[in-house]
Amino acid sequence: DAGVIQSPRHEVTEMGQEVTLRCKPISGHDYLFWYRQTMMRGLELLIYFNNNVPIDDSGMPEDRFSAKMPNASFSTLKIQPSEPRDSAVYFCASSKHWRDEQYFGPGTRLTVT
């Protein structure tokens, strides 16, 4: 298996623009997670899905952030409008069961100027 795939790997955008991050989980995994990592706050869970259904979005910073999982093999995290404080590395991870290991993608480094 190719592992969790994220795109793009790097994104530089101007404040106010819309940003869409993409994730393809490992086939057969029922759980998908979106995280954000910064030096100040560490690795934070934003939202996670079970069988394509959002279960906990309490980590989503504000209404500018939204996430979708239209099918078992694809998810998006959208920021609209983007702000400089959104600059971070965004990770997607998947797991087969809640008890199991989470497999992380390589991350998307987002810079908002």
Partner 1 sequence: TQLLEQSPQFLSIQEGENLTVYCNSSSVFSSLQWYRQEPGEGPVLLVTVVTGGEVKKLKRLTFQFGDARKDSSLHITAAQTGDTGLYLCAGVELMNSGGSNYKLTFGKGTLLTVNP
What residue ranges bind partner 1 (CB under 8 A)?
A: 4, 33, 35, 41-45, 50, 55-56, 91, 93, 98-99, 101-102, 104-107
Q: Which is nearer to partner 1, 3 or 16 (CB)?
A: 3
Location of structure tokens 């592992």: 3
Q: Which is nearer to partner 1, 83 or 101 (CB)?
A: 101
Task: Give least dist CB 49 to partner 1, A.
Answer: 11
Task: Give least dist CB 33 to partner 1, A.
Answer: 8
Task: Give least dist CB 102 to partner 1, A.
Answer: 7
Q: Which is nearer to partner 1, 81 or 106 (CB)?
A: 106
Query: With left for phi above 0 and alpha for psi between -120 and 50, is residue 110 left, alpha or beta?
Result: beta
CA angle, residues 32, 29, 64, in degrees to nearest 5: 15
Phi, psi angles (nearest 5°) of residue 85? -70, -5
Strands 108-112 and 10-13: parallel
Task: Give least dist CB 72 to partner 1, A.
Answer: 17
Q: Which two tokens stand for residue 96?
A: 């087969």
